[in-house]
Structure 1
Amino acid sequence: MVPIMPMSFLKTKLYRRIRMSTKTETPKALHVQVAEKLIEQLKAGTAPWQKPWSAAGSPAFQLPYNVISGNRYKGINTFSLLLAGYDDPRWMTYNQAASKDWQVKKGEHGTTIQYVRFYDEQTKRDQHGQPI
């Protein structure tokens, strides 16, 4: 799990806040958190994918993306970030903000997402080429 924040969390007019958990209790699995938030919103008659449309007919929102890398979030991360309730679709890690010398407001917190990294499993071999 990786804590990230929308660009709106920085100390400028564009950036408002960050949410990073400092709780010592074990958090629920991300898919459980997302499911609970989604069910809650559906019961309330709203859903994160139902956003208002602008007068010009173009969507008033975008799907979440990382402002530094330009990559769009996929899978459960999209729902997790949409359910966080921010209008700004731009997100980044704290370290990415720090690398640009952007300051995060004191007391703000991050939103947890899943980071999956694929790699090829390679068998270790001894000097004779036999698997160890």
Structure 2
Amino acid sequence: MRTADLYSKVTDSIIKQLEAGVIPWTQPWAIEKKAGIAYVPTNVATGRPYSGINTLLLWAEAMERGFHSHAWMTFKQASDIGAHVRKGEHGTTVVFTKWTEKPDEETGETKKRSLLKTYTVFHVEQLEKLPEAYQAKVEPPPETAVYDEALRVSRECGIDIQYTGTKAAYYPNRDQVVLPPFSAFDSEDEFWGVCFHELAHATGHKDRLNRKLSTRFGSNAYAFEELIAELSSAFLCAHVGIPARHRSASYVENWLTVLKDDRRAIFQSASYASQAAGYILEQSHAVQKDTPEVERQETSRERSEREMGDSIAF
């Protein structure tokens, strides 16, 4: 599939859902936890979670096709463990960024460029003769453990949070997140969705990930940053096991404008959101620490070099 066609296909699908009143990144929590991977789409052959736009692609595919977990692997990986794809099954396209180096014709300097490549994965329910180890169910942790983990991430991520506000906001000038008291929220799930949203904004500070933070409501730049924060909140909620909640219907029209203006925007915003969520988890030491190096999650800086190029070079 050509890159332009992939951009259009994915963007059109998300636009269609948004126009129908469905926020696609709030849907995956209808799927049970399985194989210890909670709500994060994961390659169960390597133990590595997918990130960026692949998270949205695999969430959407699992929901549309009625899969009961978020466990995936490639055709070769299935073959390597003695499984095979059931006859008649069709795979799901995911993407990765391949970096190349090319001399600049004018200056002669070598410049890095990124190319979007695709490959195919299959859900474990599309496989036959799958070893039992890849089918085992793991009971989800109790809600208290889920919320304790969310609290730990927020406390240890290194971002100042004050619970003195009448509204939730991030203030770049003083580098501070302000939230209403917990009692002002209808539920604990809602509280954490909002908290993670504002923490995602804070990762854009110049001393962290240095994103351009627009404060002009209604502008494309503002809508783009809000989309990053919404996606990042969904990714963080998935990590700790809390169902994501859409924060405000008032942003949907602005998101639609951004997506219709630029077919790459959802890819770019998902990449930035993945980087933001990764930064928060790394700072709170919530990433894998004792898995083999080949299977460890990438750091946000590594992911930035591999994945963020589609935000800049395409």
TM-score by length of 1: 0.56
User: What are the within-5 Å matches in structure 2 for residues 30-49 of structure 1?
Assistant: 30-49=6-25
| Preserved CA contact (<8 Å) 2:43 2:71 | yes
> Which runs of 5 or more residues in structure 1 are unaligned?
2-25, 55-60, 124-132
Q: Which one has the bigger strand percentage?
A: 2
Tell me, in whole angstroms, the C-alpha distance in 2 between the residues paired with 1:96 and 1:83: 22
> Which runs of 5 or more residues in structure 2 are unaligned?
32-37, 104-314
| Preserved CA contact (<8 Å) 1:30 1:114 | no
Distance change >3 Å, CA 47–CA 99, structure 1 → 2: same
Q: Which one has the bigger helix percentage?
A: 2
Distance change >3 Å, CA 122–CA 45, structure 1 → 2: closer
Tell me, in whole angstroms, the C-alpha distance in 1 between the residues paired with 2:53 and 2:77: 22
Q: Answer yes or no: is 1:114 the counterpart of 2:89.
A: no
Q: Deviations over 1:1-57 (max 9, x none)?
A: 7xxxxxxxxxxxxxxxxxxxxxxxx68632222111111111222222213569xxx
| Preserved CA contact (<8 Å) 1:30 1:113 | no
Distance change >3 Å, CA 78–CA 94, structure 1 → 2: same
- Give 1:103 deviation, angstroms: 2.1
Amino acid of the residue matched to residue 6 of structure 2? L
Which residue is equivalent to 1:69? 46
Of the candidates 87, 91, 101, which is equivalent to residue 72 of structure 2? 91
Q: Answer yes or no: is 1:105 the counterpart of 2:86.
A: yes
Tell me, in whole angstroms, the C-alpha distance in 2 between the residues paired with 1:27 and 1:87: 30
- Give 1:116 deviation, angstroms: 2.2
Amino acid of the residue matched to residue 57 of structure 2? S
Which residue is equivalent to 2:55? 78
Tell me, in whole angstroms, the C-alpha distance in 1 between the residues paired with 2:56 and 2:7: 10
Q: CA RMSD in A?
A: 2.9
Query: Size of the alignment, in residue pairs?
Result: 92
Tell me, in whole angstroms, the C-alpha distance in 2 between the residues paired with 1:30 and 1:63: 22
Amino acid of the residue matched to residue 32 of structure 1? S
Task: For residue 25 of structure 2, give the secondary structure of its aligned residue in structure 1.
Answer: coil
Percent of aligned pairs with the same residue? 37
TM-score by length of 2: 0.26
Distance change >3 Å, CA 30–CA 88, structure 1 → 2: farther
**Greater RCO (CA < 8 Å, at least 6 residues apart):** 1
